[in-house]
Structure formats: structure tokens, C-alpha cells
Amino acid sequence: MATLSDVARRAGVSPATASRVINGSSKPVTDELRERVLQAVAELQYVPNAHAQLLARSHRGAVGVIVHDVSDPYFSEITRGLQRVATDRGRLLMICNSYRDPERELEYVELLRGHQVAAIILAGSGYHDADFTRLLNGKLAAYEATGGRVAVIGRHEHSGDAVMPDNRSGARLLGHELCRLGHERIGVVAGPRVLTTTTDRLTGLREALAEHGRELPEHHVRYAEFDRDSGAHATATLLDDQPGLTAIAALNDSMAIGALAALRSRAVAVPAQVSVFGFDDMPLARDVTPALTTVRLPLVEMGARAMALALDAGASRPRVESLAAELVRRDSSGPAPKEGPAVNASGRGRGPFLT
């Protein structure tokens, strides 16, 4: 592969002059020299070194974003907000998918630090892992020491700018709604145990139920990945093990859509026999049948606010912005059946509600 020195020799100019032409420097270069450098670039098929260009620029132009999975609707919506502000500020995004792998997350922090990005945004949940948290904070501190900026979305142990979705209060809204509708036998499809988001949502739900004198037994909870297929599988195991359930509360919308699919496959009517609730209010939630009752988080705004915090330098101390959740009632929820358990011991619909 041709180097900058090769281009300079072919053009008969100094490496500094070749660099000014290739990197678009504001320092003047005669048209003749510019033409010779560009001709050498074409002849040698020279490709500039991206890392070297970043180091040569007077400011860092890109922002690195680490998400769990950008194909997940939750992160797709957050990324829309990140992109909107980045575009307005003339910045480019480098999006990294960690797939909820802590080691990969650490590697991406190092990669983005090496690329000298202007800021790093962690858009996924924190982990209940003290060793990982210590390593991550050490790498982020080293990056910040070089002038980089960090912002996080969700509960992390990093002491810096943060946008906090109100997961706990949102789950409390969900718990109060379950009680208002008279549900006592509730199954919960939760996310991975290791994530702080899962803990916060489960805690809020349990707090609300306790205010109404109700408990959420651990055997009514299934932990799963935050995706449709995991939600369907977790719902199936709940129906098999706890046939008297009248409501399924999934702690994200993708898992709730999986719950709807599992109930449909067993001819269980929603919400006549079993109500289904989600969390996040992703765009698809209103388009499934029946439309999903869920807790809405302002996902696009979360991304926009995180990007603004990351790019707005000059704050004397960390800034934390909390964004409220709200309950959105749709067709997938209704009162608990008065006739008794809605699903029989086989895990299938029973009685006049069978479809």
C-alpha cells in the first residue's frame, strides 16, 4: 500500500505539502503543486490513513456510540435522536454493537479512544459486575484525561454526564395499572439478570404491587434476553408452570410481542383471558394486534439529550437529566377475568373465551 512519502516522491514535493493537499489544509498550495499531488494519488491509488487524519485535524469530528444492538427497536429509536443532534452539529457517528458482551464493550472503548473521537456515548444498560465496571471506568477516565467527553444513557457507575430513563417509576405505573385492573396472578418476563435496567424495572413493579398488598413471587418471574423469541419462550414456560395467570408483564416491548405470539399459538384470547403489558413504547407497539399497552419512554429524546450533553463542553460538574415515563393504555390489557383462572392446567385457553 502506498504511503504519504510515496506520494510526495512521485509528485516531487515535500511530505508536508502532500499532506496539506490530501487533508484539505487551509494553508495555501499553488495549483501546479496541487495538481501534481492529486495526480500522484491517482497513479499510486493512495488511501489516506484515517487515524493519522484524525490526529492532524484541529478538532475531533466523530462521535463514538456503543449500543447493545442497533437492530433492537429500543436502540434504533435512541440512535435516531443521537443522529439528529450529531447531524445538526456537523458530526459523524461511529456506531458499535456490543451485543451485551462486556468484553466487547471494553474493546470498543479502546478502539474509539484510539480513533480520537470527540465523545463516547454508552447507550446500553449498565452491568451488575464490579470487575467490569472498574475496568470500564478506568478506560473512560484515561480517555477523558486526553480531552474526550463521555455521556451515558441509563444507570452506570461512571461519574459523568447522564440521561436517566425513569425505569423504576415507569414500572411502578405498570404495577398500579395491574392492580387497578384487578390482576393478582401476574407473570413477569424480565430481561437479563446482569443488567441494571432489569433490576430497576423489577424493583419498581414490586414496589407498586406491595403498595396494594400484593407480592410478586420469584417463581412468577422468567429472565430472558430482550428480544421477541426469548419473550415467547419465557411466556410459554410461565403458562406451563403457572396456569392460573391472568396477566403477563414483559419488561420490554419486543418480549411482549413474543408473549402475544405465545398466547396466540395456544388459542388464549388477549385480553379476555390474559392481559399483556410491555415497556418502552417502540413504534411497532401500536401496530401489533391487539395494540400493546405499554410504558412509554421518550427514546428519541433520550438519544438527542445524550448527544447534546456529550458535545456541550464547559460544564463544571456532571449533569444528570431524568426523563419521565408514562403509561399508554391500548387493547392488549383489560380487567382480570371474574370466572377464575383464565388458562387451564394444560396452559391453553379454557371456557367461553377459547378462540
Confidence (pLDDT) at 154:
92
DSSP state letter for 332: T
Q: Where are the domains of the chain?
A: 4-48, 62-165+300-324, 167-297+328-353
Parts of the chain with a pLDDT under 70? 24-26, 49-60, 314-316, 339-355
Where do the DSSP E strands lie in the chain? Answer: 62-67, 92-97, 119-122, 149-153, 161-165, 186-190, 221-223, 247-250, 275-277, 294-296, 320-323, 326-328
Query: Helix, strand, or coil here: 52?
Result: helix
DSSP state letter for 92: E
- Residue-wise pLDDT for 136-189, tens only, equals 999 998 888 888 899 999 988 887 899 999 999 999 999 999 999 999 999 999
DSSP state letter for 293: B
CATH topology of domain 62-165+300-324: Rossmann fold (3.40.50)
C-alpha dihedral over 98, 100, 106, 109, to 10 degrees?
40
Confidence (pLDDT) at 56:
52
Other beta carbons within 10 angstroms of residue 348's beta carbon come to 16
Instruction: Indicate the class that CATH gives domain 4-48.
Output: mainly alpha
Confidence (pLDDT) at 114:
85
Q: Where do we find the cell 450529531?
A: 86
Confidence (pLDDT) at 26:
65
CB 248 within 8 A of CB 238: yes
Give the three cell numbers for residue 278.
410491555
Confidence (pLDDT) at 354:
28
Confidence (pLDDT) at 351:
42
Confidence (pLDDT) at 28:
81
Asked if 4-48 and 62-165+300-324 have one fold, the answer is: no
* CATH architecture assigned to 167-297+328-353: 3-Layer(aba) Sandwich (3.40)
Position 287: which residue type? D
